[in-house]
């Protein structure tokens, strides 16, 4: 043991910080961890986990009519938000308890307090100063609202899980992961959803063909998706605004005018109605406006720049390939570094940090070919390059097929899926795999292994199909749809 209070002080109890703390402590290091919110961080408490449970909840709605097509005598049910929300809260309490137990069990000392850096080896936490040989910043990020008047009337993704009631009419602003996932979830739960995205197509940065199909399927499930559209003005709705609807969206207009004046709460936002004017000239009134307009790293008032740590334009901590900052004793991992903002990546970065710093084995994090999923309906699983990226890089062949899957086609549903491989013409390697389908998140995990191993199209072809499945198409596409 050195002259320091701890070998490692971790700031932030999310997936990355907790994993690094536990693994370092298990290796014999004296470790402390500070968290000023609930243990588990964004993923467990306000992100992936509650979101996925909401995806499951929303998926039952279609199930009723499908079941009837398969001979079941069932009626459509009614979704009771308070029942689900209370069950969800119990589950999150349980998971938080598991995280605490894991830390306790590994001998990590927990500070339930905000911590900030005082110098290269000192952390201020709960009014005390604690020293550590190494400090790991894993404080994550937070959702941001656009810089416009009355934006505080809208909610952000953190607020969804504790809503008193589900909105009847919801406007979602944004076209990224969070916007599209919640548009599908809320539509599935019976909410009337309008979505504004300022760009030409949702899910910027993903494969164009996949984006197109997801947008089509979102509209098919009743989401009122407006592209090239943004809010220009918003405020608490008053009787004038609800009465003077000027939009062309007749459903929305009916919804607004159908309310009695007694329903109006002038404050708007959390409980009141919100009036919105958009760039397409329409006005609308919504129970809630959800801003899914991106996330920012949690680096404010942490004493970072004061001690020489470089912070980037978006507020992210600048690190090298070993997650080390400009101050050699301070490392940073996860969303606070704004590299690849995904939980499993933060966990990898945490493990690589421990390997580098405590096991004497410098380990850079491999950020290449990371499979991921967007939990829209249908889901989108992706690994590797998009067709557009690959085309810029080299000559390619594109193998793809889009079809109505057996299970829902039998029930007369319009849902379509997409299976797509982007293949290098020169060395036949599969450069990218894109799947839009129910369960695509599960499928892409496995396809990701093959792509990461450098599998060629011929390796895929040599694999016998599992029949009848949707994913068998991934090994049975014989002719390229196009070359580029």
- Minimum Å gap between C-beta 203 and ligand NDP is 8
Query: Could you tell me which stretch among 1-9, 217-225, 293-301, 319-327 binds ligand NDP (CB under 6 A)?
Result: 293-301
DSSP conformation letters of 368-388:
SS--EEE-SSSEEEEEE--HH
What is the phi/psi pair of residue 335, to 5°? -60, -25
Q: Please choose, out of 171-179, 213-221, 423-431, 442-450, the segment that lies near ligand NDP by the rule CB under 6 A.
A: 171-179
Q: Is 412 exposed, middle or buried (0-12, 13-18, 19+ CB in 10 A)?
A: exposed
Distance CA 209, CA 473 (A): 17
The reply on whether position 373 binds ligand NDP by CB under 6 A is yes
- Residue 286 binds ligand NDP, judged by CB under 6 A: no
Q: How far is the CB of 190 from ligand NDP (least distance, A)?
A: 22
Place of tokens 């936490």: 125
Q: Which stretch binds ligand NDP (CB under 6 A): 9-17, 24-32, 176-184, 253-261?
A: 176-184
Cα→Cα distances 450→214, 366, 455, Å: 25, 16, 5
Catalytic (active site) residue 367: no
Which DSSP category does 73 fall into?
-
Q: Report helix, strand or coil for 160.
A: helix
Is residue 174 part of the contact set for ligand NDP (CB under 6 A)? yes
Contact flag: residue 16 with ligand NDP (CB under 6 A): no
**Residue 37 touches ligand NDP, criterion: CB under 6 A:** no
Residues 216-235, interacting with ligand NDP (CB under 6 A): 230
For residues 329 to 368, the per-residue mask of contacts with ligand NDP, x marking binding by CB under 6 A and - elsewhere, is ------------xx--------------------------
Please name which of 351, 328, 297 lies closest in space to residue 320, comparing C-alpha atoms.
328
Among 12, 154, 176, 432, contact with ligand NDP (rule: CB under 6 A): 176
User: Which of 134, 142, 434, 467 is labelled catalytic?
Assistant: 467
Position among 292, 330, 346, 347 found at the interface with ligand NDP (CB under 6 A): 292
The binder of ligand NDP chosen from 210, 252, 253, 374 (CB under 6 A) = 374
Nearest CB to ligand NDP, comparing residues 229 and 424 = 229
Q: Tell me which of 179, 225, 385, 398 binds ligand NDP, using CB under 6 A.
A: 179
Tokens describing residue 102: 């894991």
Of 21, 88, 173, 330, the one binding ligand NDP by CB under 6 A: 173
Interface residue with ligand NDP among 40, 140, 154, 175 (CB under 6 A) is: 175
Which ranges in 189-258 belong to alpha helices (H)? 208-220, 239-243, 250-257
Q: Which residues contact 324 (CB under 8 A, 6 or more apart)?
A: 330, 331
Inter-CA distances, 295 with 113, 145, 233, Å? 23, 9, 22
**Ramachandran sector of residue 188 (left: φ over 0; alpha: ψ -120 to 50; beta: rest):** alpha
Binding positions for ligand NDP, rule: CB under 6 A: 146, 173-179, 181, 197-199, 204, 230, 292-295, 341-342, 372-375
Q: Which residues are catalytic?
A: 467
């Amino acid at each position: 043991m050195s002259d320091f209070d701890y070998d490692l002080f971790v700031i932030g109890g999310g997936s990355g910080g907790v994993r690094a703390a536990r693994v370092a402590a298990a290796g014999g290091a004296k470790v402390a961890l500070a968290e000023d919110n609930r243990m588990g961080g964004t993923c467990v408490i306000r992100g992936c986990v509650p979101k996925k449970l909401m995806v499951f909840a929303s998926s039952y709605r279609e199930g009723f009519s499908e079941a009837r097509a398969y001979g079941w005598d069932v009626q459509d049910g009614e979704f009771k938000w308070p029942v689900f929300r209370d069950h969800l809260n119990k589950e999150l309490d349980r998971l938080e308890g598991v995280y605490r137990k894991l830390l306790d069990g590994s001998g990590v000392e927990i500070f339930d307090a905000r911590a900030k850096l005082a110098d290269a080896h000192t952390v201020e936490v709960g009014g005390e100063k604690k020293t550590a040989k190494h400090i790991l910043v894993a404080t994550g990020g937070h959702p941001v609202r656009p810089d416009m008047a009355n934006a505080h009337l809208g909610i952000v993704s953190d607020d969804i899980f504790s809503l008193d009631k589900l909105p009847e009419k919801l406007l979602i602003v944004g076209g990224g992961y969070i916007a599209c996932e919640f548009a599908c979830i809320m539509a599935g739960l019976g909410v009337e959803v309008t979505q504004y995205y300022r760009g030409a197509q949702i899910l910027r940065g993903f494969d164009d063909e996949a984006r197109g199909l997801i947008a089509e399927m979102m509209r098919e499930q009743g989401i009122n998706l407006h592209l090239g559209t943004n809010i220009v003005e918003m405020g608490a709705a008053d009787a004038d605004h609800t009465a003077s609807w000027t939009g062309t969206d007749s459903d929305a207009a009916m919804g607004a005018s159908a309310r009695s004046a007694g329903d109006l709460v002038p404050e708007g936002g959390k409980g009141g109605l919100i009036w919105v004017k958009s760039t397409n000239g329409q006005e609308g009134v919504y129970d809630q406006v959800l801003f899914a307009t991106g996330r920012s790293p949690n680096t404010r008032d942490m004493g970072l720049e004061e001690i020489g740590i470089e912070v980037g334009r978006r507020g992210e901590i600048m690190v090298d390939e070993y997650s080390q900052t400009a101050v050699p004793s301070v490392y940073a991992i996860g969303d606070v570094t704004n590299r690849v903002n995904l939980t499993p990546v933060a966990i990898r970065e945490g493990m690589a940090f421990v390997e580098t710093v405590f096991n004497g084995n410098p380990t850079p994090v491999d950020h290449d070919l990371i499979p991921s999923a967007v939990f829209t309906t249908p889901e989108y699983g992706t690994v590797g390059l998009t067709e557009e990226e690959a085309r810029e890089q080299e000559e390619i062949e594109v193998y793809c097929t889009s079809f109505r899957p057996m299970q829902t086609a039998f029930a007369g549903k319009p849902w379509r899926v997409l299976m797509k491989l982007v293949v290098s013409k020169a060395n036949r390697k599969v450069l990218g795999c894109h799947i839009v389908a129910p369960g695509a998140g599960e499928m892409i995990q496995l396809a990701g292994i093959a792509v990461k191993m450098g599998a060629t199209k011929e390796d895929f072809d040599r694999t016998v199909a599992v029949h009848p499945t949707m994913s068998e198409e991934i090994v049975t596409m014989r002719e390229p749809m196009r070359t580029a």
